[in-house]
Every structure is written in structure tokens, then in C-alpha cells.
Amino acid sequence: MKQYWNELSEIKKDLAAKDWFPATSGNISIKVSDEPLQFLITASGKDKTKITPEDFLLVDKTGRAIEETHLRPSAETLLHVHIYNQTKAGCVLHVHTIENNVISSLYEHEVTIGNQEIIKALDIWEEGAKITIPIIENYADIPLLGETFLPHITGDTGAVLIRNHGITVWGKNGFDAKRRLEAYEFLFRFHLKLCSLQGGAYHGTNSHS
């Protein structure tokens, strides 16, 4: 358990240093066991720029705390539950950044970005490759949000943008998930910078009005 706790703590520290957890937002988790499914997830309402013994709690396949505790799992634990129950993913990261929020405001159902070397970090090696990230609505009703999220869980790695909310990325393990998250955020910054240099000409037919 300590190994997973320390790994998740290091990831949290690295992402906090990038200012990707503003105002206690975001949630991250790491799988501890498959049978039974158990994973550590950030406790709700905690300042993620701090390191404390109450940063995470252990939950089961339904997202409920395994041991009696005053801590509450993140409000969006259900999304992590869906990912771990549907895939072999080992880590899930959800962060709020200005870039991923702007991207989700500009496009309706998905955004496609391509021809960038960093796409290789997503295990896509074709020359001139493109990546498409789905965008779903930010429902306050968490079960409804989960239902909308579920169809986009199509493999052991992936990412979904939630409109004006943030991005959820999952990977095979902590290193893989963090690498993928950093790649997506780089692609969002690149895309917005390129569009601004081109006079705001957002490419594609999926712009959100």
C-alpha cells in the first residue's frame, strides 16, 4: 500500500507544481489491487498543493471507503470506478487547466489535433498522426455524468474532456497516465497558440457556439 500511496503522492506533487489543481479542484487515483478491485483516490476538498496523511483514501469497486473514515472520496469517484471496472488501467488523473477548459468551450463533441511529435507519447507513431479527444457535457448529476462518460471508455488508455470542467486521462500505470496527461495539455496549448497566430481560425467543423 505504501508504494502506491507514495507514487500517487509524487504525481500529485508534480501536477500541483504545474498549477493544475486550482482551488482544490481535480482528483487522481491509482489502482492498488485487481481482485478485489481497490484504489486510492484523493479525498474531497483537500488542498492538493499540500502533502498530508489525509490526502488519499482507499475505496472499493463501487467507490466506497473500505475503512471507516471521516474523509470523503472525490465527488467524481464514479468516473474512476467506471474506468477501473471497464479496463485494465492502473491510474486515472483529472485536472482543470485554462487550456483544457478553453478547448472544451470552443468545440462541441470532439477536438482533433495532429501533426505534432508529442503525439508519440500517446503510443501513436504514424507520420502526421492525429488524435481526437471527445467532449461531453458537464452534468452536475454525477450518475448522469457517468452514463455520458461510459461510452468513451474504449481501452486501457484514453482521455475525455468535460466541458468547462477539465480532462480525465487514464493510463496503464502512474507514469503512463502522467505522460499522457502532459502530452494532451501540450497539444491543447499548441492548438490554441497556433489558432491565435492564425487570427482565431479554429479548424474543423466541430466548433461550439
Q: Which three cell numbers stand for residue 134?
A: 471527445
Please check if 96 is assigned to a binding site. Answer: yes
CB contact set of 166 (below 8 Å; sequence gap of 6+)? 25, 26, 94, 95, 96, 97, 100, 101
Q: Distance (Å, rounded) from C-alpha 83 to C-alpha 87? A: 6
Q: Cβ(77)–Cβ(41) under 8 Å?
A: yes
CB atoms within 10 A of CB 152: 17
In three-state secondary structure terms, 101 is helix
Question: Which residue stretches of 74-153 are H helix?
Answer: 77-86, 98-106, 142-149
Concatenating the DSSP letter of every residue in 19-47 gives: T-SGGG--EEEEEEETTTTEEEEEBTT--
Please check if 94 is assigned to a binding site. Answer: yes
Amino acid 155 reads: G
Please give the annotated binding residues, written as ranges: 94, 96
Please give the annotated binding residues for Zn(2+), written as ranges: 94, 96
